[in-house]
Amino acid sequence: MTANTAALLIQHYVDNFRRLPWRAAPGEPAPEPYRVWLSEVMLQQTTVATVRPRFERFVERWPTIEALAAARHEDVLSEWAGLGYYARARNLIACARAVAERGGFPSTSVELRQLPGIGAYTAAAIAAIAFGERAPAVDTNVQRVIARLHRLRHAPREIIEPLLLDMLPAARPGDLIQAMMDLGATICRPRSPSCQECPLRSECAAFASGAPAQFPAPKVKRVRPHRHAAAYWTEWNGQVWLVRRPAKGLLGGMAALPTSEMTETPPRNLNSIGVVRHVFTHFSLDLHIIVASETVGDGWWQPVAGIDEAGLPTLFRRAAELVMSASERRAA
């Protein structure tokens, strides 16, 4: 099955290639490792549709790894605002500086894993796509496609990686990996897979079972704990007081409104303007927006009219939008 499956998948990729700014088309020279690395970091927990314009803006501002390595920490975090999972941005800076110091990216997955913020999957993806190493890069789409091909209810990485490795050709293994990523994203979806459009249906044991969506078994969702915190809006002369969050921890290093400690119960304050709810990876949060007359912490005055230029993460951007909407309603 392996050789035929790989051939069918590659042909489908050639015929249905998605041109993305970090990719090289089948038959073209491999893309720059900088672009592959940056795209893989951005795409973690984030959709292609969201990443594409942000990637293009990012590489226009910092077109090389050397340019990114020389950038100010605050500028990179500000540019990252809205993409979420901000530890990625901090690791991005550390990795760029490490790569620039050594004179370029290493070309093997083993060496790539030694860089800040690069795990097993990202290292394998860069090595396969940019350097042509037969490295089994297993993301969620690849995992699902392989699991269905082999009708696996449980598909841990240690099972999937050797099955993928058996399929990888000696030449341009990254094309097959990207072909499988595309197949999982567009056809072999978690629910309601479009099996009649799939080039691998004749090879697929899950399709033959008549219930392909049952493979692999869905993960049991954990109940997220819920938290509350207050964010303080202090406005003076058309400006709002902002602070920079501690480098480590939630939204580390990002511009923000001053906040209280998180609690399990809502804060009691009569000056609350409203609440912004945000879901993080491990918990959900109600952020209560409170009008304050005094500044809190070390920070700076940001013009309210230029709040979009502050680089606020989504949580605090939505808080600012709530306050400004309330002000507009009062003025009307």
User: What's the pLDDT at 27?
Assistant: 86
Give 152-206 as a DSSP string.
-S---HHHHHHHHHHH--SS-HHHHHHHHHHHHHHTS-SSS--GGG-TTGGG-HH
- 182 and 231 assigned to the same domain: no
CATH code, domain carrying 131: 1.10.340.30
Domain end: 189, 214, 239, which one?
214
User: What's the pLDDT at 270?
Assistant: 66
Q: In 62-131, which residue ranges form alpha helices assigned H by DSSP?
A: 65-69, 73-80, 87-102, 109-112, 120-131
282: Cβ–Cβ under 8 A, 6 or more apart, which residues?
224, 225
Cβ atoms within 10 A of the Cβ of 216, count?
Answer: 20
- 133 and 233 assigned to the same domain: no
pLDDT, tens digit, 9 for 90 and up, residues 26-62: 989 999 999 999 999 999 989 999 999 999 999 999 9
pLDDT, tens digit, 9 for 90 and up, residues 74-126: 999 999 999 988 889 999 999 999 999 999 999 999 999 999 999 999 999 99
- 63 and 155 assigned to the same domain: yes
- 165 and 193 assigned to the same domain: yes
- 136 and 279 assigned to the same domain: no
- 82 and 203 assigned to the same domain: yes
- 20 and 160 assigned to the same domain: yes
- 136 and 278 assigned to the same domain: no
Phi, psi of 220 (to 5 degrees): -75, 125
Residue pointed to by tokens 């009569």: 270
Q: Is residue 220 part of a domain?
A: no
Tell me which of 40, 79, 133, 161 is the catalytic residue. Answer: 40
Domain end: 214, 249, 272, which one?
214
- 83 and 106 assigned to the same domain: yes
Euclidean distance between CA atoms 55 and 74, whole angstroms: 18
- The helix or strand, by DSSP H or E, that contains position 48, with its residue range, turns out to be helix 48-61
Q: Is residue 246 part of a domain?
A: yes
Q: Is residue 309 part of a domain?
A: yes
63: Cβ–Cβ under 8 A, 6 or more apart, which residues?
none
Residue numbers in the chain where pLDDT is lower than 50: none
- 230 and 209 assigned to the same domain: no
Catalytic residue flag (residue 40): yes
231 pairs with which residues across the strands? 259, 289
Domain end: 186, 214, 242, which one?
214
CATH code, domain carrying 235: 3.90.79.10
* Domain carrying residue 127: 2-214
Q: Is residue 322 part of a domain?
A: yes
User: What's the pLDDT at 328?
Assistant: 80
- 210 and 232 assigned to the same domain: no
Pairing of β 226-233 and β 299-303 = unpaired
Query: What total number of domains does the chain contain?
Result: 2
pTM of the complete model = 0.87
Q: Is residue 221 part of a domain?
A: no
Q: Is residue 75 part of a domain?
A: yes
Q: Is residue 154 part of a domain?
A: yes
- 156 and 29 assigned to the same domain: yes
Q: Is residue 219 part of a domain?
A: no
